[in-house]
Amino acid sequence: TQLLEQSPQFLSIQEGENLTVYCNSSSVFSSLQWYRQEPGEGPVLLVTVVTGGEVKKLKRLTFQFGDARKDSSLHITAAQPGDTGLYLCAGGLRGGGNKLTFGTGTQLKVEL
């Protein structure tokens, strides 16, 4: 059973387009993180959100944590080829101890 479902699974867009990646669950998370992973490397943290309804902006990336803390979204404005990579959401389950539950991943490709 996958606790965190991401959509879409694959996304191929042109440079300059906007996109949104979704991370959904039926479980409540105490915190949620977004990571980006490039081929041959480990994931790198982009942001951590902890409050329901929280919105964080990181340059062209906007992250939102759902009011009920069961879902999150990542919006990229004016995508660039450097944004290409595997985007992973990961959450700390309430009562789940200290480990992160990772989402299924969204593979993004931004072409010139």
Partner 1 sequence: GAGVSQSPSNKVTEKGKDVELRCDPISGHTALYWYRQSLGQGLEFLIYFQGNSAPDKSGLPSDRFSAERTGGSVSTLTIQRTQQEDSAVYLCASSLGQGAIYEQYFGPGTRLTVT
Q: What are the residues binding partner 1 (CB under 8 A)?
A: 4, 6, 30-31, 33, 40-45, 48, 50, 86, 88, 90-93, 96-105, 107
Closest to partner 1 by CB, 31 or 62: 31
CA distance 72 to 69: 8
CB of 112 to partner 1, least distance (A): 22
CB of 78 to partner 1, least distance (A): 25
CB of 43 to partner 1, least distance (A): 5
Strand pairing class (10-14; 5-7): unpaired
CB of 85 to partner 1, least distance (A): 11
Of 29, 22, 20, the closest CA to residue 101 belongs to: 29
Closest to partner 1 by CB, 35 or 64: 35
CA distance 9 to 11: 7
CA distance 32 to 40: 24
Closest to partner 1 by CB, 19 or 100: 100
Closest to partner 1 by CB, 16 or 53: 53
Taking the CA atoms of residue 53, residue 54, residue 56 and residue 61 in that order, the dihedral angle to the nearest 10 degrees is -30
